[in-house]
Structure formats: C-alpha cells, structure tokens
C-alpha cells in the first residue's frame, strides 16, 4: 500500500498521507505551520462538529442543500462530535489568523467521511461549508466550546471547592485565633470566619464567570465573510443556532449584529478577565493556607495540610504544600494566558479579528486549568485540613494585639503602654493589664474574652 495519495485544490496537487481523512488544504497548513505542535483540543473540535451538523440541517431545511447530502454530512459530523477522529485535526494553533486552515480541516474530514458513507462525492467547500465562512464558523465554535466547558468542567469544580471551604468554615466555627494585618498580629477572629471568607471568594468568582459567559451565547454563524451573510439564506444563522441550542441545552442564539460579532471579541475578553479574577482569588487563598500551615514547628502552624508526598530529596520527614504550589502555578499560567487573550481580542482590524486560533486555544486552556486545579485543591488539600489547636491558643493568648480590647475604657495611650510592656517583658497582655489598669479581674476577663473579641463585641 502506498504511504501517500495525491489530492488537489485550487493551487494544484498535494501529497497527503494515504490514511488521512483530510485533504489538500489541511496538508498545506501542516507544511506551512510547523510551529508548536499545539492543537485546538477536544472541546473545540466538538464545537466544530456541532456547527457543521447544524449547518447541514439548516441548509436542508432552507432548501440550499439536498437532504441526502445534508444527512450524510450530519452523520459524519456526529462522529467528529463524538471524538472519533480527533487525531485527524492536525493544524497548528499558530496558523492563519481567521482559522481557515482548521475550518477546512473539519470540512475535509467530514466530506471524506460523508462521501465514503453515502457513496456520493461530497465537497468540503460546496457542501460541508455551505452558507458558512471561516470568519463566522471559528468564533462560533469557540463560543460553543467555551460555554460547554464552563458548564461541564469549571462550574462544578468551583462549586465543589466552594462547598468544601464552607464545610471547613462550619467545622472551624468555634475556634478563636489571632488575626493578622500587614502580616502582624491583629485582633482575634474565628478560624471558621477566615475559611468562610475563602468560600465567598470562590462563590463570587463563580458568579462573575457565569455572568461573563452569557456574552458567548450569541453565535456569529450566518454572517459569512464580513457580516453581510453573503451566500447564506437570511434565516440560516437563527435556524442553526436554534439547533445547537436544542442539542446542547444552552440557549444559543444568532448574533444581534453580525458585524460586531465577527470583528469584535470583547465577550471573550470579558470572560478571560473573569477567569483571571478567579485566579487572583485562588492565589490569595492558596498563599494564605501555605502561611497558616507553615512550620510545622517553626512557622505559624495553625493548620495542618494533608501529607500527599515526601517533600525533599535531602531532608527526611519534610512535607511540602505541593497541592497549593501547583495551584499557584496554574494561577500564574492563567494570568499569562489572559494577557495573550486580551492582546488577541484587541488585534482585530476592520471586519475580522485575525488572532482567533490562539485566542481560542488560550481561553479554553484557562477554563481547563482552573477547573482541574479547583477540583484537585478540594480533593487533595482542603478536605484534609486539620487544626493545630494548641498552637492557635498559645499564639492568641500571647498576642500584644489583645491590648486593643480595654482601649475604650482606659484610653489608647494606656493600652499602647500595656502592649509595649508586654512586648518588652515577654508577659501576656492579660498579666500586664492586671497590674496597670486597676480593672477588676472580672471586668478584665470580660474585656479579654476571646469569643467576644472574635465576634466584634
């Protein structure tokens, strides 16, 4: 059997691997863009398959494609949707800015499959790409992929993490600890309130991302080359969007303005910004937990993280906060990807944004990374956190910040003098206050009641 076969396109002959389902235009792209080895992934390919199937059905309904051909295209597209031919999507992310090469990769694979299954010659452009352009297909595929990933991967991951942090907030509800501002001792609070704050950070991030994702429910499909809808029935975009909505369960709809939908990518930029904002929150949470667990004997040591692997190749018994460190690296990557997405979104000129493949790759990678990191953080770290109650009690009782409590009764200067003497002598605030204030032991105990202080009383 020969290793190659000859294919043709408008530029002439091209040698293609004999077993390939794609054709000449995909092969030219493979040869033209040997850049990174990075490919648009499973979710984007699924989005392309959904668009090609919906387009075939819409074209048949609107009388622009023979029902038999539309049926064959739809059957082939279903195989692409199911992931049976992902290895045939071989074009590098760094390619033509419109993503024409990836769109033609899909057209050629589906045409090849449909032709073999139907016994008819089905053309990548004339049939599979009917009523479409790469300029409306590629952003539409990005929208479909992102919306599905938000719902199927990221939202469950965030909810799992949020609920895990809330469970810890309840578990730690009665544990008073010293607060810290500027990394210095501050007044007491409940450890449960600290974890409740982390849960709320995740909850608000989840809401921001959900709201930002609504912008991607508009599909540019139907605008064809520049937004005018040339060579497509007027109803095409609405019919196709309705089909995709029915198949996915997400309320996709035709873009209100196709010129904006194809040339501008602000909805993508907004979603990327919301994802970055979650990475900012996750960075704060992970760094806090690392500090609270530092030690375990020569650091803060208020909590203990689950030990998941040895931490050192030279120091026996050392255990590091590896899950938190991996989370922080994900956050760093996401922040960098957001910068690339924003740059790509700003890179449109006139009727087209010519940075779409990289924009799509980076946005979907942001979603994928944050979803995986959120689940991993909950499953391998948050759920196993325990409290070091002796360390918490010792540090809380010794903190000079407790001098804040009697300040309203004895004055700020007198309270400051108590804190300074406690620091200089190594005594507790309670002991110094008993000597200096003249307050009864009963009243002093009321003022320095840790639970009252933690509740802001």
Cα 419 → chain centroid: 46
**Cβ–Cβ < 8 Å for 287, 322:** no
CB 292 within 8 A of CB 198: no
- In sequence order, what DSSP letters do the residues of 371-383 get, joined into one string? HHHHHHHHHHTGG
123 classed as catalytic = no
Instruction: Write the CA distances from 422 to 17, 184, 186, 238, 332, integer angstroms.
Output: 80, 16, 15, 74, 42
Alpha-carbon torsion 82, 84, 87, 91, what sign?
A: negative
Clarify whether 8 is annotated catalytic.
no
Residue 13 burial class via C-beta count within 10 angstroms: exposed 0-12, middle 13-18, buried 19 and up: exposed
Which residue is listed with tokens 């520049």?
226
Catalytic entry in 36, 75, 101, 182: 182
**Dihedral (Cα; 337, 342, 348, 351), 10-degree rounding:** 100
On the CB side of 34, CA atoms within 13 Å amount to 3
Closest CA to 198 of 339, 388, 377: 377
**CA nearest neighbour of 275 among 140, 370, 343:** 370
Catalytic-role residue among 8, 36, 312, 440: 312
Q: Which of 117, 112, 109 is nearest to 71 (CA)?
A: 117
Q: Which residues are catalytic?
A: 182, 312
């Amino acid at each position: 059997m020969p290793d190659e076969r000859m294919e043709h396109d408008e530029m002439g002959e091209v040698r293609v691997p004999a077993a390939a389902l794609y054709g000449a235009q995909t092969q030219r792209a493979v040869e033209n863009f040997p850049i990174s080895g990075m490919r648009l992934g499973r979710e984007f390919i699924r989005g392309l398959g959904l668009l090609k199937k919906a387009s075939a059905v819409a074209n048949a309904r609107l009388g622009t494609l023979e029902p038999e051909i539309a049926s064959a295209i739809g059957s082939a597209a279903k195989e692409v949707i199911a992931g049976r031919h992902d290895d045939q999507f071989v074009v590098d992310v760094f390619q033509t800015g419109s993503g024409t090469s990836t769109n033609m990769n899909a057209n050629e694979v589906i045409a090849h499959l449909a032709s073999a299954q139907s016994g008819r010659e089905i053309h990548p452009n004339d049939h599979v790409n009917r009523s479409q352009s790469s300029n409306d297909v590629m952003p539409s595929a990005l929208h479909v992929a992102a919306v599905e990933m938000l719902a199927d991967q990221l939202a469950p991951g965030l909810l799992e993490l949020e609920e895990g942090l809330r469970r810890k907030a309840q578990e730690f509800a009665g544990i008073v600890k010293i607060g810290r501002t500027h990394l210095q001792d501050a007044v007491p609070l409940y450890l449960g309130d600290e974890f409740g704050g982390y849960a709320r950070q995740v909850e608000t991030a989840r809401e921001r991302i959900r709201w930002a994702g609504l912008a991607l429910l508009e599909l540019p499909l139907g605008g064809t080359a520049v937004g005018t809808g040339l060579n497509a029935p007027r109803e095409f975009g609405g019919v196709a969007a309705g089909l995709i909505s029915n198949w996915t369960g997400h309320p996709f709809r035709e873009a209100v303005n196709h010129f904006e939908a194809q040339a501008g990518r602000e909805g993508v930029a907004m979603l990327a910004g919301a994802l970055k904002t979650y990475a900012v929150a996750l960075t704060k949470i992970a760094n806090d937990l690392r500090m609270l667990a530092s030690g375990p004997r020569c650091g803060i040591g208020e909590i203990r993280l689950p030990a998941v692997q040895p931490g050192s190749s030279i120091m026996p018994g050392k255990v590091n906060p590896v899950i938190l460190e991996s989370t922080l690296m994900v956050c760093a990557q996401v922040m960098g990807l957001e910068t690339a997405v924003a740059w790509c979104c700003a890179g449109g000129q006139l009727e087209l944004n010519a940075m779409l493949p990289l924009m799509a790759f980076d946005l979907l990678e942001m979603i994928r990374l944050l979803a995986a990191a959120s689940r991993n953080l909950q499953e391998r770290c948050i759920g196993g956190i325990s409290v070091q109650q002796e360390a918490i009690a010792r540090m809380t009782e010794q903190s000079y910040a407790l001098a804040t409590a009697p300040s309203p009764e004895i004055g700020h200067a007198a309270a400051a003098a108590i804190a300074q003497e406690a620091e200089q002598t190594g005594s507790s605030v309670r002991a110094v206050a008993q000597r200096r204030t003249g307050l009864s032991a009963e009243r002093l105990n009321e003022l320095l009641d840790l639970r009252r202080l933690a509740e802001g009383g």
